[in-house]
Amino acid sequence: MHQGFLLVFSNLLQSLGRYISVFIVFPLIVSILSIRFIKETRRSKGINYIRLIILCIFLSVFWVEIWELLGNEMPFVSLELSGFESEDFSFYNFGLGLAVSLGLVLGAYLYRIESFYLTSLYVFFGLFVMFLYTGTSIFLMPFIYLCGIASLVVLFYTGIKLKDNGALGVALYFLIMFLTLFFDETGIMGIIDALITLSYSAFGIIFATGHFTPFKATGGNK
């Protein structure tokens, strides 16, 4: 009885978190970031690449959330099609790989290391082309994990050193999101996983609206 209740409650929270993320949270985040990017572009009469990269990161995560919802909640979309539990290139893993690659791009832009601006994207799309031609994606998951860890380190370091709210906010968002990779989606672990998912969704809105400002005077780009 106790285990049955935990299973039902865990599944309910997981489903609730997915629907809230896809239909409420991420449309809000993407809309707010898009409006801020457009306003900044008009004001400065030029593209703010930092804001653009951050917008693309959240669009990539939105793509990931959509395919997680489809694979788990929609009977006409299998987990195999969404690739939620796959280690190969899939709709889900493509968005995840793109998001962590853009995390390194953001770090390179903040430090203005031009030779590394697009390096992670070149590697990622190189792996994708290799998959299309050979059918192998043996290096995909190692790339995602290594790139994800590197993004966290670079963005945390950048955010703290340059007192950059944007870099630190993305780093915290990635950290909370990656915590879900270590929890199963059933029982007590599933409940914790669902609560973490709701937490990074809430933090995403706080970040997008510009209310994440631990540094009042920033040394880097806002």
* pLDDT tens string 22-61: 999 999 999 999 999 999 999 988 899 999 999 999 999 9
> Quick one: pLDDT at residue 31?
96
pLDDT 10s digits, 156-183: 998 898 888 989 999 999 899 888 877 7
Q: Tokens standing for 161?
A: 């050193």
Q: Cβ(82)–Cβ(94) under 8 Å?
A: no
**Rounded mean pLDDT, 115-141:** 93
Query: What's the pLDDT score for residue 145?
Result: 92
Q: Which two tokens stand for residue 69?
A: 């919802």
Give the confidence band of 67 by pLDDT, cuts at 50, 70, 90.
very high
Report residue 80 as tokens.
């195999």
Q: How far apart are alpha carbons 208 and 22 in whole angstroms?
A: 16
Q: Would the pTM of this model clear 0.85, i.e. be above it?
A: yes
DSSP H or E segment with residue 17: helix 2-20
Q: What percent of the chain has pLDDT over 70?
A: 93
Instruction: Name the more confident of 198 and 206.
Output: 206
CATH placement of domain 2-208: 1.20.1070
- Helix H or strand E segment including 134: helix 119-134
State both tokens at 208: 């997008």
